[in-house]
Every structure is written in C-alpha cells, then in structure tokens.
Amino acid sequence: MRGLALATGFNTDFSIKLLRVCKKRIYLGAQKQIKTKYMSIWRRKPLNQLLDEASESEKGLKKTLSATGLVALGVGAIIGAGLFSITGLAAATNAGPAITISFLVAAFGCIFAGLCYAEFSSMIPVAGSAYTYSFATMGEFVAWIIGWDLVLEYAVGAATVSISWSRYLGKFLGGYGIHIDDAYMLSPFEGGVINIPAVLIVMIMSLILMRGTKESATVNGIIVLLKVSVVLIFIAVGWQYIRPENYTPYVPANTGTFGEFGFSGIIRAAAIVFFAYIGFDAVSTAAQEAKNPKRDMPIGILLSLGVCTLLYILFAHVMTGVVNYQAFAGKDGIAPVAIAVEAMGHPDASGIIVPAYPWLNNAILLAILGGYASVILVMLMGQSRVFFSMSKDGLMPKVFSEVHPKYRTPAKNNLLFMILVSAFAAFVPARVVGEMTSIGTLFAFILVCIGVLIMRKKMPDAPRAFRTPLVPLVPILGVLVCLFMMVFLPLDTWIRLIVWMMIGFDLYLFYGMRHSILNKGDFSLDSYKVVAGSGLGMVLALVVVAYIHHMDPNIDDHFLFYFSMVFAAIHAMIYAYSFKKSR
C-alpha cells in the first residue's frame, strides 16, 4: 500500500480508498458479465431471423395460398358456430333483438385488433399468429403465454363446434327418418356414452389437413361458397316475413341479474359471440403458407372481417325479426336458424304458421353442417401451426415441428391433435368449453394490440407493407374494448382460463425454459423468479375469483370451488419452491 502511495504521489489513506473503489468496480463488472452470460425470458426473437424462417420455403411449409384463399379461409372460420347456434342462445338469454348491437360491439373490437394483426402479418409473415408477433415484440415468456392461450382458443373451439355439428347432424338425419341413439350422440356428462359423430368430423378434417394446405383450402372454398349462398338466401327470403312487433322491446329490461338483458346483457352477448370472429386470427396463422404474405395477409384479414360482420348483423336482424327472441330459449336454442325458417310463412285458419319454403329448412341444416366442418378445419389448422412455431423454438417437443416429406405438412402434429380434440369432443359437454374460446380470443387480441405499440417504439424503421393508422389510438382502443368485453364474461370462465394458464406455466418452467433454442436453455435466476412469481400471482387470482364466484347464492359450484382451492394449494407449493430455489 505504501508503494502505491509513493508511486501515485498520494497519501496512504487516499490510496486505500482508491483501491477499494477499483475493487468494487471490478467486482460489479464481473457480476455484470456473469449476469449477461445467462439469457432472459424477455429476450425477443430478431426480426431478421423471423424473416429468414419465412424464406425457407423449401424446408418449411409449402406456399400455396393466395389472397382469395386467405379470405375464404377467414370467412370459413367466421361464418359458422356463432351464426348458426350462439346467435340464438345469446339473443334468448342475454340481449334479445339487440343481439345486432352485440355483433357491432364485437366487430368494433375486431376492427382495432384486425388493423394491428394486419400490420404484424405484413411485417412478420411466418406461421404462429399472435405467438410469433409477441415473440418479436415482448419476448419469449409473453410469447409462451399467448401461444398457450391460442392452443386453448383453437383446441377447445374445434371441440365445441364438433359437438354442435353432431347435434345438427342428428336433426338433419331425423328429417329423413334416420335416428341415432342419444347414447352415441352425447357425452357421459350429458347422459350419453360417447359422441361418435363429433369424433368422426374431427378425424375427417384432420386427415384433410394432413394431405396438405392446398387440398384443405380447396375443400374449404367449396364449403364457404355453399354456406354464404344459403346465408344470402336466408336474408333475402326472411326479410319479407319480418314482424316489427318482434323488435319490441328492442332492448329488453334487465332481469335484476348481471348479464341478463339490458346494457350488461348486450355486452355479455358480445363477449359470448366473440369467438365467432376467430376467423381473421386463424388467417394470420397461415402466413408462412401464403404466396405473397406482405400483400395478401392484410387483405385476407380485413376483407374477411368486413364481409362477415355485415352478414352477421343482417342475419341476426332477420332471425330475431321473423320470430320472437324468446323462442330461441331451451333445448331448441342451439338450432335458431331452423326455428326462424319454420316461422317464414303465413298463418292458417287456426293461427298456425305454415312455412312458405319447407325445403329451405333442410338446405339450411345442410349448410350448417358444411359451415361447421369448415370452422373445425380452420381451427385445427391454426392450432397445429401455432404448435409448429413453438416447437421450432424449442418450447415444445420436436415432434410438433416435423414436416411430412411428401405433403410438406406437420402431419404428426395434426395426428396428435386429432386424438386430443377428438377426446374433448367425445367426452366433454359443449357448455363447459364453449365460453373459454371467447376469453382466449379476446386475450390474444389484447396482446397483439400492445405488441404494435411496442414495435412502433422499438423498431420504427422496420419495413411494413401495411401500417396501422392512428397509432397509438387504434391499439389502445383495441385493448380497452377487448378488456371491456372480457370483464362481462362469467366468473367460471375466468376460473377455467386461469387454471389453463397455470398448466402452461408448469410446462414452460419445467420444459420450455430448459429447451429454448433462442436462449439455449440458459436463464438467469431472475428469469426463474419472474416465472415462479407470476405463477404465484395466478394462484392468488384463482383463489380470489373462485371465492367470489362461490359467494353467489344463485350458483351451485361446490365441485368447481373445491377443485380450484386444491389446484391453487398444490401450485402455491410448486411455485413457492421454485421461487425460493431461484434466490
């Protein structure tokens, strides 16, 4: 120390202080190097890497879809379950004739989200939809959350539609004197044994997808043309049988229960039917298979949204005009179109309405069967493509990204999900999984809108074939409108969403983080702490929501409540252990 003082010309005390400062800075520098050695869950996938993946068409998916094919793909998904089943149920129990306003509210949120989707899809033309967009803007952890949410959105949605398809098939065959035993048309929870028709339609659509996107897009185009034609005929024929008295009151008074008519009923109905707008979201998952994604993706997304919104409003207006909305309540509510067609006629001497076009009933049922089939096809396609992207990033097992050597499709991926979705369709009742699709879709749209705000700030000069107008206003409005609708969904739907997301946290914590290709499986302790801490937050949310739901005297939810408490307790221990281990 004295030598240092002599060499520097300073006194000994000052030299000691200088040495301590140098040691501290060296230590902090070393600590910084140690921290930067490990990767972060917030690390974003570089945009040039995403574009390189899109350009590898020889090794990736075959590029066969044009703008016309993308529009047909979107219309095929949008016109289906929401129009042919949920519309009547939402009108009967939530909105009344004001279901048309509900569709406007839902479309309002879709427009904002669609504009954000269009910018991302023209900028990042790779498979994966909101998952890919989140990975490029908000990092791997958020991408995992949205990817896992999309799995829920597509898988549960496809299962729900296939169950409804089965019920419509029974009605159609019944018109020709063919009856199938309910034991083979319903799940065990509904008094049956197994829903065989639902399983068969999932298998058929999955096999079509395994053959290739070109073939599935062609089949989908034929189905879309058929059902759009029938929808237009329904509107044109039904318009002359509208009875103005059926629109009075247009907005039924609230019954005293939140969500049953009145303003809250209109918004809840908007949230319930929102999953019918999943179509343009599914279009974005096919970006890597588009011939010219920068030009065709915005066209496919926005045009399919605009066409279907107009058809939805006109269809709902005619449907609630030809027959009173209360007729859609009960077991026949799942077939509102058939009820409306039967009312298209004139009363006889006894006052009973004689249908003017009885042949139209069977034509409508046939169109519904075809429409549901196209919805299932698009949902299965979207699901497999999301897992394809997640698997290529190492967050899911490699089998999900293996491409068939002949058909150039993720055939094994489709096969595995055919088994999974078929199991849901065979043994799970539609009422349990239906609303989960809506909340998953709304959540995905919110993250995409936030992603546009981040990309405009982080990468303002990145090339974009389409730019979302009025930023930041449009993305902010998209977030607020979608969140607003989510709040009006039933609490048991929130419980199921939270449980699903906690399962996703488990997979990411114990598999995804260890096999991540971008981060090479090396994460800082802070990253593990964030994931475990987020899991603890989800545990708290589950307990609070389940307790509030349990306090409602009009709901008997003992099984759901105790399941939630046990599930939360187990995961509290898992996440607490992981959080403590990361310190």
Torsion on CA atoms 14, 16, 19, 20, rounded to nearest 10: -110
Backbone angles phi, psi at 157, to 5 degrees: -65, -45
Whole-number Å distance between alpha carbons of 277 and 438: 9
Q: What pLDDT digit, counting tens, does each position of 400-423 carry?
A: 888 877 777 788 888 888 898 998
pLDDT more than 70, % of the chain:
82
Determine the pLDDT at residue 58. 40
Q: Does 494 lie in the same domain as 457? A: no
Q: Does 531 lie in the same domain as 405? A: no
Q: Confirm whether 140 is domain-assigned.
A: yes
Whole-number Å distance between alpha carbons of 255 and 94: 10
Q: Does 433 lie in the same domain as 344? A: yes
Q: Characterise 469 by phi-psi region: left (phi > 0), alpha (psi -120 to 50), beta (else).
A: beta
Q: Which of 187-191, 372-376, 572-576 has the highest mean pLDDT?
A: 572-576
Confidence of residue 96 (pLDDT cuts 50, 70, 90): very high
Q: Confirm whether 50 is domain-assigned.
A: no
Q: Is the pLDDT of residue 338 over 70?
A: yes
Q: Does 424 lie in the same domain as 503? A: no
Lowest mean pLDDT among 40-49, 270-279, 310-319, 425-434: 40-49
Q: Confirm whether 48 is domain-assigned.
A: no
Tell me which of 417, 443, 461 is where a domain ends: 461
Element (H, E) at 222: helix 213-239
Q: Does 417 lie in the same domain as 305? A: yes
Q: Does 122 lie in the same domain as 25? A: no
Residue 375 or 421, more confident: 421
Q: What pLDDT digit, counting tens, does each position of 536-563 carry?
A: 999 999 999 999 999 888 787 788 899 9
From residue 521, alpha-carbon distances to 140, 141, 514, 577 in Å are 12, 13, 4, 20
Q: Does 74 lie in the same domain as 149? A: yes
Q: What is the mean pLDDT of residues 289-301?
A: 73
Q: What pLDDT digit, counting tens, does each position of 174-214 carry?
A: 878 888 888 888 888 777 888 999 999 999 988 888 877 55
Q: Structurally, how many domains does the chain consist of?
A: 3
Q: Confirm whether 71 is domain-assigned.
A: yes
Residue 355 or 82, more confident: 355
Q: Is the pLDDT of residue 11 over 60?
A: no
Query: Which long-range contacts does 555-559 make (Cβ < 8 Å, 24+ apart)?
Result: 555/492, 557/492
Q: Confirm whether 557 is domain-assigned.
A: yes
Whole-number Å distance between alpha carbons of 62 and 533: 41
Q: Give the residue numbers spanning the domain of 25.
A: 2-37
Determine the pLDDT at residue 13. 55
The separation between CA 70 and the C-alpha centre of its own chain, rounded to angstroms, equals 18
DSSP 539-559: HHHHHHHHHHHHT-TT---HH
* Residue 287 near residue 293 (C-beta atoms within 8 A): yes
Q: Confirm whether 57 is domain-assigned.
A: no
Q: What pLDDT digit, counting tens, does each position of 206-238 carry?
A: 888 887 755 455 666 677 777 778 788 889 889
Determine the pLDDT at residue 15. 47
Q: Does 379 lie in the same domain as 429? A: yes
- Under DSSP, is residue 129 helix (H, G, I), strand (E, B) or coil? coil
Q: Does 28 lie in the same domain as 98? A: no
Q: Confirm whether 43 is domain-assigned.
A: no
Q: Is the pLDDT of residue 497 over 80?
A: yes
Confidence of residue 33 (pLDDT cuts 50, 70, 90): very low
Residue 360 or 515, more confident: 515
State the greatest distance between any 2 C-alpha atoms of the chain, in Å, as a whole number. 121
Q: Does 13 lie in the same domain as 99? A: no
What CATH number has the domain bearing residue 218?
Answer: 1.20.1740.10
Q: Does 406 lie in the same domain as 542? A: no
Q: pTM (2 decimals)?
A: 0.79
- Residues 352-386 as b/e (b if ≥16 CB within 10 A, e otherwise) read eeeeeeeebbebbbebbbbbbbbbbbbbbbbbbbb
Q: What is the mean pLDDT of residues 518-537?
A: 80
Q: Confirm whether 393 is domain-assigned.
A: yes
Q: What is the mean pLDDT of residues 356-375?
A: 78
Q: Does 435 lie in the same domain as 288? A: yes
Determine the pLDDT at residue 7. 44
